[in-house]
A and B are shown apart, each in its own frame.
Chain A
Amino acid sequence: MPKLLSGAEIVFKALEDQKVEYIFGYPGGAVLPIYDELKNHKSIKHILARHEQGAGHSAEGYARSSGKPGVLLVTSGPGATNAVTALTDAYMDSIPLVCISGQVPTHLIGTDAFQECDTTGITRPCTKHNWLVKDVNDLSRILHLAFEVATTGRPGPVLVDIPKDIQFKKGKYKFFKNTLKKKLNGKAIHKISNSELDKFINLIKKSSKPIFYTGGGVINSGPEASKYLRELVSLTGFPITSTLQGLGAYPGDDPQFLGMLGMHGTYEANNAMHDCDLMINIGARFDDRITGKVDEFSPGSKKIHVDIDPSSIGKNIKVDLAIVSDVTQLLRSLIKRFKEKNKNFANSNKQKTSKWWEQIEKWREKKSLNYNNSEKIIKPQYAVQRLYELTKNQDTFITTEVGQHQMWAAQHYKFNKPNRWMTSGGLGTMGYGLPAAIGVQIANPGRLVVDIAGEASVLMTMQEMSTAVQYRLPIKIFILNNEYMGMVRQWQELLHEKNYSESYTAALPDFVKLAESYGCVGIRAKTPDELDEKIKEMISIDKPVIFDCVVDKAENCFPMIPSGKPHNQMILGPEEEEEISDEGKVLV
């Protein structure tokens, strides 16, 4: 007869067996038995957030930067509803999270009890799966299954709702492994056939205007996928562009890399996508920010789509060759097969794609990321570029909030490694970056973690600075402060006749004093000449820092594909609205 454990003990036993080191959470009435048990499990450290949303984003940052699932522990009712934004964010960006929530005792469920809500009902559409545990003897099976569902196939969040009485009840514990017999999201070791690979290779060989279009699936597949991607891109000599989530899978400073594509992508990347004759989509999902007008999306190309989730294929764009597979697995077999017959492909194929590269170089000459720099006022792009130059020599992790600063970070910060870039892409959650940085710093102690933020976004989860101070996490909050919700302001300027409705924050806090009140360090930079020194100062401080970088209030994020337009109709910059002489443009 195995020893009987309480539900709370079973939770920790399962977490230990899943090798969980950190949980992010916030206590409350309905999870007290679990919190009570925490003291008996020294291998698991709890990080106390200041709000459940913050705990959720921290868990996401932890997961994205470490490749391990993030674990979240919240109470019933408001604890669970506060976690919903983080769960939805993780669902959209395919981040493995396991959320354990307390629930009112089973006999009170359905009575509108204090802090009761229909947690499984509320989180059903924003999790891969969720469970309400009604019998303590199901608990260990469900918990292990939860980890399996979260981490297999296309990763994502799951939630296990545990009523308080179940946390007290005694039951049996068993470590279940691979309980999921059925195929999950096509994870089911889909054997890639040689004929699929040959079709793939054939399309590569026939193409004279190819492009790789890669996404977050490469990152999610693990560091090996990035290694193979680099090998394949070098083997073929083809150009490559990446989605927002895929940045870092391929080196950002490599000549074959065309920069990010999409609404605020580079001119060369978007034009190459539009004019190519072969598009090789690896682990990206034809999101609307990428495709623009679907009917006019890359009209002349054959399209290959590799995705682990079969429902991502053909959802927005019809493709000619669909392969349901994990990216690492596919790339490994593809490269092997490709090498067998095409040893020196890149060289022999150079002539065929030379015209294409010439065209790409012409597009590149537009230098679409340029902006008019200033000597008096800090341009936000300039701030990101300086941050990059001053941090590129160390292993730096960047998180962002959502808005203009996020796009400038994506455009001007060059990533060379996967898992170094954490941003809320799918859901676009303002307030993501600061708590995410906390999770990243926990997973990567001793590394430099910078949240490139906007002043509006960061205020949404500013309270988490208190968490950073408590756990001595020296995260750097680099605020590009333009006093506006910049992206909202930009859309209002361009599309709503400059009616800046409610996009200006009239009463911002003094961020330097705010930093001091949290017990961390505040730095402010107001002019371009002092920027470098101040950034260096920020990096040298072994404490959390809030950096208030006062930037141009009116700067817009270009290039930009206006909505409803195809890729080859981009606005390159303010000069397309008002003439600015070439001399006025400073190349940085």
Chain B
Amino acid sequence: MAKSKSAYSVPGKIGKIERHIIVVWVDNEAGVLARIAGLFSGRGYNIESLAVAEVDKKKHISRITIVTEGTPQVIEQINLQLRKLVPVHKVADFKRTDKDILFRELALFKILANSKKQEKIKKICKKFNPVVLDKSQKSFVIQVTALRAEIDKLTLDLRRLGLISTSRTGAVAMTKGAKIFN
């Protein structure tokens, strides 16, 4: 007899895991985010980050950007399952490595630092469009926009320099050139 004690089939081979960015246009109605997030958790898909806001005030359309990881089969399922949801208008999907897509994340850092140290920090952040949003004698709040990995690294660097609070958005994405997602 079979050694398996389960009534279910044994797991098959697992394919190569890819990171994808999925953009979903939805009706901005009550519960829509729960539908999307619930679909991911219910089917065991992974959400690395999620960014959402209304982009069309008149039609009440929100644009959700989800970073996820999975095998090609799982990514395909995510796309197809999303498209089945009633409030979903369209879904765009691309690989994180796609050269034609721009990604940005925004981060706010609060750092305890005197003005001398503040200058040093601004230099470290120079490549990432730093904007000082608030400044006091002991502390300041700086905003940067960059890629996820860059912000990860920056966080590590700043921790040594008095970082006391970090707030980050999920990634948002847009195509290069004149064409748009469809």
Contact = CB atoms under 8 A, between A and B. Distances in A.
Contacts of B13: 295
Interface stretch (A50-58, A124-132, A355-363, A501-509): A124-132
Given A124-B38, A125-B38, A132 B5 contact: no
Nearest to B74: A315
Given A121-B34, A314-B76, A562 B86 contact: no
B4 to A, nearest CB: 4
Interface string B99-139: 00000000000000000000000000000000000000000
Contact of B34 (A124, A185, A562): A124
Contact of A564 (B4, B34, B85): B4
B86 A292 contact: no
Contact of B77 (A288, A292, A311, A495): A311
Contacts of A293: 9-10, 12
Interface string A545-572: 0000000000000000011110000000
A180 B86 CA distance: 9
A184 B30 contact: no
Contact of B5 (A120, A182, A291, A496): A496
B2 A562 contact: yes
Interface in A170-186: 180, 182-185
B7 interface: yes
A235 interface: no
B87 to A, nearest CB: 8
Given A129-B85, A149-B86, A563 B10 contact: yes
B31 interface: yes
Given A309-B84, A311-B80, A564 B10 contact: yes
Interface in A291-318: 291-295, 309-311, 314-315, 318
Nearest to A294: B12
Contacts of A121: 31, 34
A128 B12 CA distance: 29
Contacts of A125: 38, 42
A176 B130 CA distance: 53
A491 interface: yes
A495 B6 CA distance: 9
B73 A314 contact: yes
B149 interface: no
Nearest to B89: A182
A494 interface: yes
A132 B85 CA distance: 16
Interface string B65-81: 00000000100110011
Nearest to B88: A182
Given A128-B86, A311-B80, A563 B38 contact: no
Nearest to B80: A311
B2 A288 contact: no
Nearest to B85: A129
Contacts of A292: 9
Contacts of B2: 495, 562-565
Contacts of A310: 80, 83
B178 interface: no
Nearest to A148: B86
Interface in A263-304: 288, 291-295
B31 A562 contact: no
Given A294-B12, A295-B12, A564-B2, A311 B81 contact: yes
Contacts of A291: 9
Given A314-B73, A314-B76, A562 B4 contact: yes
B53 interface: no
A563 B7 contact: yes
B86 A129 contact: yes
A266 to B, nearest CB: 20
Nearest to A126: B42
Contacts of A565: 2
Contacts of A120: 31
Interface of A: 120-121, 124-125, 128-129, 132, 134, 149, 180, 182-185, 288, 291-295, 309-311, 314-315, 318, 491, 494-496, 562-565
Interface of B: 1-2, 4-10, 12-13, 30-31, 34-35, 38, 42, 73, 76-77, 80-81, 83-86, 89
Query: Would you list the 3 A-B pairs with minimal beta carbon distance, nearest first?
Result: A311-B80, A562-B2, A564-B4
Given A121-B34, A184-B86, A291-B9, 7 more contacts: A120-B31, A124-B35, A288-B9, A495-B2, A562-B1, A563-B8, A564-B4
6 contacts: A125-B38, A149-B86, A288-B9, A295-B13, A310-B83, A495-B5
